[in-house]
Amino acid sequence: MNWLVWRQYRTQGALALALLAAFTAVALWQGFQVASQWHSMVATCAGNSQCLRPGDLIRGVANGVPYLTLIVPVVLGALWGAPLVASELESRTSDFAWSQSVTRVRWLAVKAGWLLLAAAACGGVVAALVTWWSGPENAQLANAFISPQFDTQGIVPIGYAVFAMALGIAAGAVVRRTLPAIAVVFAGFIGLRYVIDGFIRPHLMAAVTTYFNVTGNFSPPGAAWVLNQGAVSPTGQAVSEVYGFWLYATLPASCQKLVPGGAPTKGASSSLNALYSCMQANGWREFVTYQPASRYWPFQGIETGIYLLLAAALIAVTFAIVRRRDA
Options 153-161, 213-221, 257-265, 312-320: segment touching another protein (CB under 8 A) = 257-265
- Minimum CB separation of residue 103 from another protein in Å reads 27
Residue burial 247-285, b: 16+ Cβ < 10 Å; e: rest = beebbeeebbebbeeeebeeeeeeebeebbebbbeeebb
Mark 51-80 with x for binding to another protein (rule: CB under 8 A) and - for no binding: xxxxxx----xxxxx--x--x---x--xx-
- Minimum CB separation of residue 33 from another protein in Å reads 13
d(C-alpha 170, C-alpha 317), whole Å: 7
Question: Of the two residues 40 and 100, which places its CB atom closer to another protein in the complex?
Answer: 40
Question: Of the two residues 177 and 285, which places its CB atom closer to another protein in the complex?
Answer: 177
Mark 15-54 with x for binding to another protein (rule: CB under 8 A) and - for no binding: x------------------------xxx-xx--x-xxxxx
272 binds another protein (CB under 8 A): no
Which residues, other chains included, contact 180 with Cβ-Cβ below 8 Å and sequence gap of 6+? 171
Mark 141-170 with x for binding to another protein (rule: CB under 8 A) and - for no binding: ------x-----------------------
**Residue 123 in contact with residue 161, Cβ under 8 Å?**
yes
d(C-alpha 272, C-alpha 18), whole Å: 58
271 binds another protein (CB under 8 A): no
Specify the amino acid at residue 34.
Answer: V
Contact pick of 9, 98, 132, 248 for another protein (by CB under 8 A): 248
Contact pick of 263, 313, 320, 327 for another protein (by CB under 8 A): 263
Question: Of the two residues 99 and 147, which places its CB atom closer to another protein in the complex?
Answer: 147
- Minimum CB separation of residue 135 from another protein in Å reads 16
Residue burial 107-123, b: 16+ Cβ < 10 Å; e: rest = bbebbbebbbebbbebb
Question: Of the two residues 177 and 308, which places its CB atom closer to another protein in the complex?
Answer: 177
d(C-alpha 202, C-alpha 226), whole Å: 10
**Residue 156 in contact with residue 150, Cβ under 8 Å?**
yes
Options 1-9, 130-138, 190-198, 308-316: segment touching another protein (CB under 8 A) = 190-198
Mark 214-243 with x for binding to another protein (rule: CB under 8 A) and - for no binding: ---------------------------xxx
d(C-alpha 207, C-alpha 290), whole Å: 6
Options 109-117, 121-129, 183-191, 295-303: segment touching another protein (CB under 8 A) = 183-191
Compute CA distances 164 → 32, 107, 113, 118, 321, whole Å. 31, 20, 14, 12, 19
Residues of this chain that interact with another protein (CB under 8 A) are: 15, 40-42, 44-45, 48, 50-56, 61-65, 68, 71, 75, 78-79, 83, 87, 147, 178-179, 182-183, 186, 190, 194, 197-199, 241-246, 248-249, 261-263, 265-269
